[in-house]
């Protein structure tokens, strides 16, 4: 069994000490959230908090507790200037920003509708930097992310992280709480026969998405000449982890119903971090019309269309966005 702990891995990667401190704090927050999720039924933490968040979604009690864990644990990081959370409308400024300070973007508990039915959920995060002293701008394109990652609270708790050079997966050892390197240099297979989309939205889809899914469903007799499998777990973290592990393509496209809102998923703390991870693992990430990481944000909670995963399938979907205009 590996003895490569997250600390050893980060130290060997020669990241700046203050970034290592921040990533360790994020890992600590994820350990706390893993316990909160695992013990939720005993502590009476399952179910709704009776409030609605900035997204207009009913907040689960664990959404709030997970956000509190990130805030409480990460706010002490020496060079962290601001927090941008899915659960908080405003940007939380911890200090007067100085050039080089870190900005932390996070979805503390993604897929929380799965909690009450005991299915996988996760946390998603990304780190960028303040550009110059006093600069209170958190709206930077995803290309500027220094690192990104997620925690998956599944049969085991995993932390998957990229620092812009590779994607590494760490599994939390239940006894010690150490995150040990179990999945080094993760790569997305270029080809796949598995797609993930909420098919109940078929009636809202554009022609490009309908064509893609219809061809997959047509199987061996259809234009793709092979059968496809479909998965939908209502947890982006679980979908992305499966795609990183065995390939696939994840789609939450713009459609006739969500286009006015910009799509469903949020750019700064869902799409951008996952796009960096997938690109670093050899996959591709697009809105269908442009790379996600090139989008110039207009707001901290901006929504975008998301298509990402195995490069060959993403390329096909981009082509269909060009040819199927309806």
Contacting positions for ligand P6P (CB under 6 A): 110-111, 113, 198, 234-236, 239, 265
Q: How far is the CB of 24 from ligand P6P (least distance, A)?
A: 25
State in angstroms the smallest separation of the CB of 126 from ligand P6P: 15
**Distances 186 to 54, 160, 251, 286 between C-alpha atoms, Å:** 34, 9, 21, 20
Considering the complex, what minimum distance in angstroms separates the CB of residue 235 from ligand P6P? 5
Structural contact between residues 207 and 244, judged by C-beta atoms closer than 8 angstroms: no
Minimum Å gap between C-beta 133 and ligand P6P is: 35
Q: Which is nearer to ligand P6P, 33 or 180 (CB)?
A: 33
Which residue's CB is nearer to ligand P6P, number 110 or number 206? 110
Q: Among all residues, whose Cβ is closest to ligand P6P?
A: 236
Distance CA 82, CA 67 (A): 14
Closest to ligand P6P by CB, 251 or 284: 251
**Which of 161/308 has CB closer to ligand P6P?**
308
Nearer to ligand P6P, 5 or 55 (CB): 55
Q: Smallest distance from the beta carbon of 237 to ligand P6P, in angstroms?
A: 7
């Amino acid at each position: 069994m590996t003895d490569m702990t997250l600390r050893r891995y980060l130290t060997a990667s020669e990241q700046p000490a203050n970034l290592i401190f921040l990533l360790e704090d994020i890992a600590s927050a994820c350990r706390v959230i893993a316990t909160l999720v695992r013990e939720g039924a005993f502590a009476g933490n399952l179910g709704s908090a009776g409030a609605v968040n900035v997204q207009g979604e009913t907040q689960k009690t664990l959404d709030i507790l997970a956000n509190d864990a990130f805030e409480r644990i990460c706010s002490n990081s020496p060079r962290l200037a601001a927090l941008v959370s899915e659960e908080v409308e405003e940007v939380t400024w911890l200090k007067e920003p100085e050039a080089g300070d870190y900005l932390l973007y996070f979805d503390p508990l993604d897929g929380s509708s799965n909690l009450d039915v005991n299915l996988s959920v996760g946390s998603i995060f990304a780190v960028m930097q303040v550009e110059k002293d006093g600069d209170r701008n958190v709206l930077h394109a995803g290309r500027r992310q220094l690192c990104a990652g997620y925690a998956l609270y599944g049969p085991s708790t995993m932390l998957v992280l990229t620092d812009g050079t590779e994607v590494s997966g760490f599994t939390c050892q239940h006894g010690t709480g150490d995150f040990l390197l179990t999945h080094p240099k993760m790569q997305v297979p270029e080809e796949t026969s598995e797609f993930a989309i909420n098919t109940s939205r078929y009636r809202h889809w554009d022609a490009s998405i309908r064509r893609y899914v219809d061809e997959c469903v047509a199987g061996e007799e259809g234009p793709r000449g092979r059968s496809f499998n479909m998965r939908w777990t209502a947890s982006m973290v679980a979908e992305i982890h499966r795609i990183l592990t065995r390939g696939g393509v994840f789609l939450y496209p713009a459609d006739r119903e969500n286009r006015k809102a910009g799509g469903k998923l949020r750019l700064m703390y869902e799409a951008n971090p996952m796009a960096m991870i997938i690109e670093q693992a050899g996959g591709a990430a697009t809105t269908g019309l442009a790379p996600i990481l090139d989008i110039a944000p207009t707001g901290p909670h901006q929504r975008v269309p998301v298509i990402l995963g195995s490069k060959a399938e993403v390329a096909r979907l981009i082509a269909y966005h060009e040819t199927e205009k309806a």
